[in-house]
Amino acid sequence: MQTLRSVEVERLFKQGQSTSIGVVTLRFQKISGEQCGISILVPSKTIPTAVYRNKMRRQIREFVRKEYTKIQGARVAIIVRSKDIKQVKADLVQALRKAGLS
């Protein structure tokens, strides 16, 4: 799983599909034959302190790495709008399922 560059994230927002469940929004683009790319966006309006935003990103990245090892051929941007990690994980599972990425 690779981290997306800013150019790829911009392309996702212009050309990708979107799905939203609860406090999680996914922007994704299915690409055949390529590895998974992921970007986790936590707005400073949601979590003002950089230390806690980075902690949230690390927790989500680890959750996706462990639980969704078979996400292949997709670029995904995960936008988080809550401080509650349990709620984020539950909504992320549903959003990935809805997008057909799990």
CATH for 27: 3.30.230.10
- Residues ≥6 apart with Cβ < 8 Å to 22: 82, 87, 90, 91, 94
HSE-up of 37 (CA within 13 Å, CB side)?
18
List the domain range (segments joined by +) for residue 59: 2-99
Q: Tell me if residue 31 falls in helix, strand or coil.
A: coil
Query: What pLDDT digit, counting tens, does each position of 7-40 carry?
Result: 888 888 999 999 999 999 999 988 876 677 889 9
pTM of the model: 0.88
Total domains present in the chain: 1
Query: What pLDDT digit, counting tens, does each position of 38-93 carry?
Result: 899 999 999 999 999 999 999 999 998 887 766 777 889 999 999 999 999 999 99
